[in-house]
Amino acid sequence: MEKAYVVGLGKSGIAAAQLLHQQGYQVIVSDRSSNPELLERQKTLQNQGIEVNLNSLPDLESSTPSLIVVSPGVPWDTPWLQQARDRGIDTIGELELAWRHLQHLPWVGVTGTNGKTTTTALIAAIFQTAGINAPPCGNIGNPACALAQGSLPDWVIAEISSFQIESSPNLAPRIGVWTTFTPDHLNRHYTLDNYYQIKASLLKRCTYQIFNGDDPYLASRIPLHPWSNAYWTSTQGKHKLISSPAKGVYIQDQQVIAFGKVILPLSSFRMFGEHNQQNLLMAVATASLAQIEPEAISIAVSNFTGVPHRLEDICTIQNIRFVNDSKATNYDAALVGLKSVAAPVILIAGGEAKTGDPLPWIEMIKTKVAKVLLIGKDASTLAASLERSSYRDYLIVETMENAVRQAYQFAQSLPQSVVLLSPACASYDQYRSFEHRGDHFRQLCLELPK
């Protein structure tokens, strides 16, 4: 019996382990952490006949597996992973494993720094409205390996991070979508160009490529890569298209037009912000390439209200609107969040800071934010950045409980204010994930006295 090691006991690691066990492998799962949740997952998998070791990494000295599958959170340049590859051990990510089992199906792969979750969710909603079984997976929804077990979908609609691309060298979707590109994850990818090349490698393998033509970085890279056959989008009209109108999707006279054909009026789209219009155009481009009828696209778009943790309306209490933008884990995403809500804003930010330029975000804070409440490990770092920009209406409150309580108190003195959780930071200092952070914010908001 062939042996496989699975590293990481998150959702993707569990799905990979179950798929390999189903395929007849002797599976050993390891995770370098241990907590009550992981202990419960360990028990579940062990009841299925899968060995799970917590507080450990795979032991490559005592036995050599034929396959190692890593979860996205495991850095690809970790020394023992590099050692495994040097020894010729087949070492891949969970998404590559899913590709090996599902490559006979058509895939849509959505990547980008920001916007990919909303775009992926909208694409899946359009496909399913058209009667196509196409659940979202990857960074959103189910792990891709879960789709390879049981009845298969018609299409695979995958949100794909740079971490997943690194460990998926053969993944080649039929349609690739690149939403935006700004500095992110540089603590793992080191340079902006390396980060770019990782994402570009996925798009090069796709049969069709769709790009957000309003993204300045993507537009500037056209001469450097052979994207001559790509499909481009623009919210700024036909004259701003990088491609010909026959290969473009754009907004003109408040109509969404794809490849020269009117698809729907912009007024039927219920989400606010130019960034969401960009997401809409990329979803429409994908659906049009998949030959989905405009009527199904229009119905799906009119019913789509967004995804949790991305500018999610939680509640309104005494004219105070509470908005969960926990998915804004970098400065650029948080800037988009701030642009999308009306002043005055009480902003909750902080967590584990990422590499990037905070100045555009801070300039927006200075124009729209009445008070910044800082939480998490790097609250003092953000405070120092605000001070350097001569913004002093901030308070370090440390925890989400303190932030929500004080935001509510401050907001009551302002007319029609917004309390916005848009952290501009990763969540791992205090939470398991940005979803965990957003869920906690939602719970605290709903517990406020009405």
- Model confidence over 242-289: pLDDT tens digits? 888 999 999 999 999 999 999 999 999 988 889 999 999 999 999 999
Q: What is the pLDDT of residue 184?
A: 61
CATH number at residue 142: 3.40.1190.10
Q: What value does the mean pLDDT take over residues 96-115?
A: 97
Q: What value does the mean pLDDT take over residues 318-340?
A: 94
Same domain assignment for residues 230 and 263: yes
Same domain assignment for residues 294 and 321: no
Same domain assignment for residues 316 and 299: no
Q: What is the pLDDT of residue 374?
A: 98
Which of 35, 68, 88 represents a domain boundary (last residue)? 88
Same domain assignment for residues 69 and 131: no
Residue-by-residue DSSP string for 370-439:
EEEEEESTTHHHHHHHHHHTT---EEEEESHHHHHHHHHHHHTTSTT-EEEE--SSBSTTTSSSHHHHHH
pLDDT digits over 374-431, tens only?
999 999 999 999 999 999 999 999 999 999 999 999 999 998 899 999 999 999 999 9
Same domain assignment for residues 259 and 321: no
Structure tokens at 111: 């990547």
Q: How far apart are the first and last CA of the chain?
A: 61
For 11, the domain range is 3-88
**Order of strands, sheet of 26-31, starting from the edge strand that comes earlier in the sequence:** 51-54, 26-31, 3-7, 67-70, 90-93
Q: What is the pLDDT of residue 188?
A: 61
The model's confidence at residue 224, banded by pLDDT at 50, 70 and 90, is: low
Residue whose structure tokens are 């405070």: 383
Model-level pTM? 0.87
Which of 88, 121, 142 represents a domain boundary (last residue)? 88
pLDDT at 292 over 70: yes
Same domain assignment for residues 193 and 155: yes
185: left (phi over 0), alpha (psi -120 to 50) or beta: left
Same domain assignment for residues 282 and 393: no
Same domain assignment for residues 204 and 334: no
Which of 88, 112, 132 represents a domain boundary (last residue)? 88
Rounded CA-CA distance 115/120 in Å is 9
Three-state DSSP state, 221 = coil
Rounded CA-CA distance 436/427 in Å is 8
pLDDT digits over 72-82, tens only?
888 888 888 99
Same domain assignment for residues 349 and 373: yes
CATH number at residue 387: 3.90.190.20
pLDDT at 186 over 60: no
CATH number at residue 75: 3.40.50.720
Q: What is the pLDDT of residue 301?
A: 97
- What does the angle CA 182 – CA 162 – CA 158 come to, to the nearest 5 degrees? 110
Same domain assignment for residues 134 and 276: yes
Q: How many domains does the chain divide into? A: 3
Same domain assignment for residues 263 and 401: no
Same domain assignment for residues 106 and 217: yes
Q: What value does the mean pLDDT take over residues 118-143?
A: 95
Q: What value does the mean pLDDT take over residues 222-242?
A: 85
Question: Hey, which of 72-81, 191-200, 218-227 has the most confident mean pLDDT?
Answer: 191-200
